[in-house]
Structure 1
Amino acid sequence: MGKFKNILFWFRQDLRVFDNVGLWNAIEDGENVLPVFIFDEKILDRFPQNDKRLGFLKDALIRLDSQLQEKGSRLYSAVGDPQKLLPQIVKENNIDAVYTNRSYGPYGTTRDTNIKKSINAEFCQFEDFFLVKPENVPVRKVFTPFYKQWKNVFEFSGILNIDKKISTMSTSLSTVVDYLDKFDFENLWDVHEGDNILKNFDFCNYENTRNYPFQDGTSKLSPYVRFGLVSIRQVYDAIQKSNCDNDVFLSEIAWREFWNHIAINFPWTENLEFLEKRRGLDWLNEEKLFEAWKEGQTGYPLVDAGMRQLKQESWIHNRVRMVVASFLTKDLLIDRRWGERHFENYLLDYDRNVNIGNWQWASSVGADPKPMRIFNPMLQSQRFDPECKYIKKYIPELENYHPGQIHNPLRYNLSYAKPVVDHFERSKIAKNIYNKQNIDI
């Protein structure tokens, strides 16, 4: 006999059956479980038309429906505002409890609070998104002490495997597949690939390959974690099974949790720079330069290759993310918020808290402060793409150029675009802006 007769499980950033904490608890506690995904119009409206990420979401939901069918159930869907829809669904289906995994974004937390008050049923949330609950780590402003505390309190609880059928009550809701049949979105990413990466990725060599964009040295797990196609515990389990020194990859997971830690404990950083001395900087914000950056036409090949990769693949290599962010803020002298919004429009692995944290860090205004660092895009390409394999992949116009020419766009005339600014001159101006000194351009 279950704790509740009818439980609605609300899928969100956890589009999988395996190792899903909230779903596992719903099946344990409910005689019947109704799996539901709601197409939130407030979120969908933020997607550009024909956004490739909607294709990924579509395929992910079809995959989830298939997983549920293996357990004797289906994934049902509704379209609209969850704050209005859930009370209706609860009432019409005699739901005793709504189970879901905890959300941490500002919109999600407010939404969930409102729903909890408006439904005539229990509202139960579970921790599925992090390895360590945010409240279990003392407040820290710098990553290294956070990471030490984080590792001290973390205890791996293992992987949850749902090994029994899901009993689902009848409902008037449509299956998610019926709704998705209306759309023909393009998707460049295989939604099944996350499991293959966990099995085959070389975690042991990650430290040696992660900075070189021409190599397949990063895992590309972030989109699968972002949509919940694999759990963060599965990633940790795969790291441990690699049986090698994997602290560098583990720290990447911790960075993701650190930026959420900052957002939760210092919520004002959503709109305000973490460092007080770096607020109100006198950005130049030239639209023409911003357009050149967005389109990969700055005349600095590594920057442009990264921006073109972002538009083509909805993803960008981690090292190159830092380079393009530094270039926007330190060379083009454009407010990092412009970059945040552009990444929000394209990144498949977009996470609001992580995106804000990374952009604040790259623009030297955020938590975990370091001495102001300006990436030289020419030295970065020489060091991390010496043969220009990455650059030529995304800028085919440079196919017949020698690497020595490509790495020195201020000296050699590259036919695809002339440098929009002089890196060395703009670096001097950036230092004045960051020191809040008067500038004359």
Structure 2
Amino acid sequence: MSVAIVLFTGDLRLHDHPPLRAALAAADEVVPLFVADQAIEQAGFLVPNRAAFLADCLADLDAGLRRRGGRLVLRHGDVVEEVCRVAAQTDAREVHLAAGPSGYAHRREQRLRDALAAGGGPQRRLVVHDGVAHVVAPGEVTPGSKDHFAVFTPYLRQWSGQALRAVGAAPRVVRVPDGVQGEPLPERSRVAGVSPGLARGGEDAARARLSAWLRDGLDAYEERHDDMAGDATSRLSPHLHFGTLSPVECVRRARERGGAGAEAFVRQVAWRDFHHQVLAARPQCATEDYRSRGDRWRGAGDGDGAADDVAAWREGRTGYPIVDAAMRQLAHEGWMHNRGRLLAASFLAKTLYVDWRVGARHFLDLLVDGDVANNQLNWQWVAGTGTDTRPNRVLNPLLQARRYDPDGAYVRRWVPELRDVVGRPVHEPWRLPEEQRAALDYPAPIAELSASLDRFRRARGRG
């Protein structure tokens, strides 16, 4: 009996899974393998919210495989060592893996390829599949002689013109060789420090959410996606991050429905691919500026109050209700409305003039969809050190609040101290009479907007 291995990473699904389909076509039996990567754990990337969501995803994947006669094999340790160990135990001749965009993913692929070829026994090969985690794989479209697009609009034009592969069905049967041993699956209930409102993970939950979104939310998305109180976004980003949904299927199904809402939604999926192709070409952008602006960010040790400002920002106690509401949503749900992400990031990086990496790390500590490419490059876009063509724009939290939360419903939901404030003062509580203000237990603003704008402009050489 011939055997192949499918190494699951950020593709925890059975529907539209090219590596699984190829392995089933190439061998009589398949080992569905997930390795809890010790390197990711040691790097601090497996934070509680993502660990809990991952536990849901693995349990759901295992249940789906068992309904098809198979099971998920879980191992802990070094990915390359564990894959090679399973390959030797089962005499597997092929290992199938979805391509990843990060520098770490590239190094993992090369290490695995080299280790399989140098095993000393039967020849084994690694088969890496593009287009599993993306609609258009990194490097598939490029501008002339360059290796990636640095501006979104021309990228979107080429991205939109690419033919999409067919969406594959989930397999009916998965036969796993006898005797291959796995470890017990993790359980969400055993993960400490999880945000109380964290959503449920897994392919079943993902597919149910996608269907409901296409039916009830997509048509109005163009008009309502920035309505912070309306919560009118898809909330599919955690499922795209963990691969419980195929981005190709999402785009195909949205386009089949059509309309302005579908176009707007597909554009957001394109942004995801855009950032992944930037990171694939420039992996150092996970920690370094894509375009340095010569910033000398305020630091915690400068004696300028930066540490206190960062603490207030993290806790949702800046005195700017729209920013605080966004930060409290993040703490409670492990997720934040996209407009809230922009506002919170602009406030830290430009109003407070604190290094974007401080904010990016905090987001990665909490976001269930915490993705290195999208998180780091979105932070750089806001900070003006990334791909934004207007690097010195500053989002005014008051103007943004009036536009995207005009009735204050989002603020009242997440900042209970202001729940009973009527009208416009919910966004500017310092304008309330002193007696009312004192009764709120809500802080005064930690920064004055015009002075902060002047500081930022001087720092960027525009003052």
TM-score, normalized by the shorter chain, greater than 0.5: yes
CA deviations 1:89-110 (Å, max 9, x no partner) are 2112211111111122111211
What's 2:389 paired with?
369
Find the partner of 2:277 among 241, 258, 261: 261
* Contact 2:101 2:277 (C-alpha < 8 Å) held by counterparts: no
Post-superposition offset of 1:239: 0.6
Post-superposition offset of 1:50: 7.4
Inter-partner Cα distance in structure 1 for 2:113 and 2:89:
17
1:18-417 to structure 2, matched below 5 A, reads 18-47=15-44, 51-119=48-116, 120=119, 121-127=124-130, 128-138=132-142, 139-152=148-161, 154-174=162-182, 178-180=184-186, 184-185=190-191, 188-191=198-201, 192-201=204-213, 202-245=217-260, 246-276=262-292, 278-285=293-300, 286-370=306-390, 372-412=392-432, 413=437, 415-417=441-443
For residues 74 and 219 of structure 1, do their structure 2 counterparts lie closer, same or farther at Cα, with a shift above 3 Å needed? same
CA deviations 1:25-64 (Å, max 9, x no partner) are 1111111101111111221234589713211111111110
For residue 226 of structure 1, give the secondary structure of its aligned residue in structure 2.
helix
Post-superposition offset of 1:232: 0.4
Post-superposition offset of 1:182: 9.6
TM-score w.r.t. the length of structure 2 is 0.88
* Contact 1:378 1:407 (C-alpha < 8 Å) held by counterparts: yes
2:153 maps to amino acid: T
Inter-partner Cα distance in structure 2 for 1:378 and 1:206:
24
Inter-partner Cα distance in structure 2 for 1:271 and 1:371:
18
* Contact 2:4 2:23 (C-alpha < 8 Å) held by counterparts: yes
Inter-partner Cα distance in structure 1 for 2:85 and 2:283:
32
For residues 410 and 427 of structure 1, do their structure 2 counterparts lie closer, same or farther at Cα, with a shift above 3 Å needed? farther
Inter-partner Cα distance in structure 2 for 1:48 and 1:258:
22
Alignment RMSD (CA, Å):
2.0
What's 1:429 paired with?
455
Inter-partner Cα distance in structure 2 for 1:239 and 1:369:
29
Post-superposition offset of 1:67: 0.7
Post-superposition offset of 1:272: 2.6
2:285 maps to amino acid: T
For residues 142 and 296 of structure 1, do their structure 2 counterparts lie closer, same or farther at Cα, with a shift above 3 Å needed? same
* Contact 1:137 1:150 (C-alpha < 8 Å) held by counterparts: yes
Post-superposition offset of 1:111: 1.6
2:375 maps to amino acid: N
Identity of counterpart residues, as a percentage?
Answer: 28
For residues 52 and 141 of structure 1, do their structure 2 counterparts lie closer, same or farther at Cα, with a shift above 3 Å needed? closer
For residue 169 of structure 1, give the secondary structure of its aligned residue in structure 2.
coil
* Contact 2:86 2:180 (C-alpha < 8 Å) held by counterparts: no
* Contact 2:383 2:391 (C-alpha < 8 Å) held by counterparts: no
Q: Which moved more, 1:103-112 or 1:26-35?
A: 103-112
Find the partner of 2:5 among 5, 8, 16: 8
For residue 179 of structure 1, give the secondary structure of its aligned residue in structure 2.
coil
Gaps of 5+ in 2: 143-147, 301-305
Q: Which moved more, 1:417-426 or 1:220-229?
A: 417-426
Misfit runs of 4+, over 4 Å: 46-50
Q: Which moved more, 1:45-54 or 1:260-269?
A: 45-54
Inter-partner Cα distance in structure 2 for 1:36 and 1:85:
9
Gaps of 5+ in 1: none
* Contact 1:302 1:391 (C-alpha < 8 Å) held by counterparts: yes
- What number of residue pairs does the alignment pair up? 430
For residues 91 and 183 of structure 1, do their structure 2 counterparts lie closer, same or farther at Cα, with a shift above 3 Å needed? farther
* Contact 1:6 1:97 (C-alpha < 8 Å) held by counterparts: yes
CA deviations 1:195-244 (Å, max 9, x no partner) are 12221222221111110110021000000111011110121122112232
Inter-partner Cα distance in structure 2 for 1:48 and 1:113:
21
Inter-partner Cα distance in structure 1 for 2:368 and 2:274:
20
For residue 135 of structure 1, give the secondary structure of its aligned residue in structure 2.
coil
For residues 219 and 40 of structure 1, do their structure 2 counterparts lie closer, same or farther at Cα, with a shift above 3 Å needed? same
1:180 maps to amino acid: P
* Contact 2:279 2:373 (C-alpha < 8 Å) held by counterparts: yes
For residues 301 and 266 of structure 1, do their structure 2 counterparts lie closer, same or farther at Cα, with a shift above 3 Å needed? same
2:134 maps to amino acid: F
For residues 409 and 197 of structure 1, do their structure 2 counterparts lie closer, same or farther at Cα, with a shift above 3 Å needed? same
TM-score w.r.t. the length of structure 1 is 0.93
